[in-house]
Amino acid sequence: MNISILGIPMDLGAGRRGVDMGPSALRNAQLAGALRKLGHEVRDLGDVGVRIKETLDAHEEHGWIFRDSIFDACAAACERLLELPDDTFPISIGGDHSVSMGTVAGCARGRRTGLIWVDAHTDFNTPESSPSGNIHGMPVSHLIGLGDEKLRSIGGDWFLRPEDIVMIGIRSVDPEEREMVRAHGVTVYTMKEVDQLGITRIAGETLERLGGLEALHVSFDADALDPTVAPGVGTPVPGGLTYREAHLLMELFSDSGRVTSMDIVEVNPILDAYNQTAQIMVGMAESLAGKRIL
C-alpha cells in the first residue's frame, strides 16, 4: 500500500492549546517507521501551513473568531489531498477535529464516501447550536452541508450524505446537537451499544450499512479512547473504548479491505504522559494498515 502522511498542526478549532503539536508527537512516536515495517511505501508530505493564535490579533476566547483561518487550513489540506495519486492511502494527522472538514472532502475525491467517526463526541453542532463556538465541535454538520456557508464550501459542491455516516464510541452530546443527529438519521453507536452489542457486531453492521460505497474514511479522535488509556486529549470523557476494543475495531475494518483513508486527531502532547497517547494512536494506524498479532 502507498501511504501518504499529511500534517495539519492546528488548534484554532479547540478550546485548549497544545493539539497543534499533535503531528510532531505522532511523528516522534514513529508513525511512518511503524507503517514501513508492515511493508508499506510511506511518504511524509510535511505539514499544511496554519496560522497560530498569537498572529491573529484575537482578543476573545470564543472559537468562532478563528473561522477564516480554519477555512484556509482545511481548504489547503483538501487541495493537497486531491493532488495525490488515486492509489494513495492518505493518513491525515491533526490537529483538532475541525481539520476533517478538509481531509474528508479531499480524500473523498468527489466519490460517494462512508464516514466512520470514532469519537467521544458527535461533533454535529452548528454555529447557532454550539455553546462554545469551538469549530472542532462542528465538522460533521458542515460536511453534510449545514452550518456556515464558507466552511461548508471547503469541498466545493461535494457533501456527505447523513445515511453514509456511522459514529462509534459516542458518550457526550449537547442537547441541540442530539436533536440534529436524530433528525438527520445518522447511525450512532454510543458506549451503551458498545457495551451491549460488542465491537465485532458493531464493526460488521457498520460495514454492511456502508456496503457498496466507493470509499470509506475512518476519522479517529483520540478521545474516543478511555482517558485511562489515552490521557493526552483536550476533551476527555470517562467510559470510553478500551485499548483492545479500539484495536479490534481497526483490525476488523482492515480485514474488510474497504477503508481508503484515515484521520488521527486531537492528540495533545501538553496533556499527555510520556507521549503515551501518540504511541497508542500510532498503534491504531498500524492495526488499520494490517498489523496483526500473528
- Could you read off the pLDDT of 150-198 as tens digits, one per residue? 999 999 999 999 999 999 999 999 999 999 999 999 999 999 999 999 9
- Grid coordinates standing for 188? 450512532
pLDDT of residue 145: 97
Report whether 123 belongs to an annotated binding site.
yes
Show Cβ contacts of residue 89 under 8 Å, excluding neighbours closer than 6 positions: 1, 2, 3, 4, 40, 260, 261, 262, 289
Residue 221 lies in a domain: yes
pLDDT of residue 60: 53
| Residues annotated catalytic, as ranges | 97, 119, 121, 123, 136, 221, 223, 266
Report whether 121 belongs to an annotated binding site.
yes
DSSP reduced 3-state for 88: strand
Model pLDDT for residues 258-276, shown as the tens digit of each residue:
999 999 999 999 999 999 9
pLDDT of residue 61: 57
Residue where the block lists cell 499544511: 48
Residue 235 lies in a domain: yes
Report whether 142 belongs to an annotated binding site.
no
pLDDT of residue 63: 67
- Grid coordinates standing for 59? 482578543
Model pLDDT for residues 32-68, shown as the tens digit of each residue:
999 999 999 999 999 999 998 777 765 555 567 899 9
Query: What integer is the mean pLDDT of 85-104?
Result: 98
Residue 144 lies in a domain: yes
CATH code (residue 181): 3.40.800.10
Report whether 119 belongs to an annotated binding site.
yes
Report whether 148 belongs to an annotated binding site.
no
pTM over 0.95: yes
* β-pair type (2-8, 113-118): unpaired
Residue 55 lies in a domain: yes
The mean pLDDT of the chain is 96
- Grid coordinates standing for 16? 485548549
Domain count, the chain: 1
Half-sphere exposure of 237 (CA within 13 A, CB side): 18
> Could you list the residue range(s) of the whole structural domain that residue 112 is in?
2-288
Give, in order, the Cα–Cα distances in Å from 143 to each of 197, 255, 277: 28, 27, 27
pLDDT of residue 113: 98
Residue 293 lies in a domain: no
Instruction: Write the DSSP symbol of residue 121.
Output: B
Report whether 223 belongs to an annotated binding site.
yes
Residue 294 lies in a domain: no
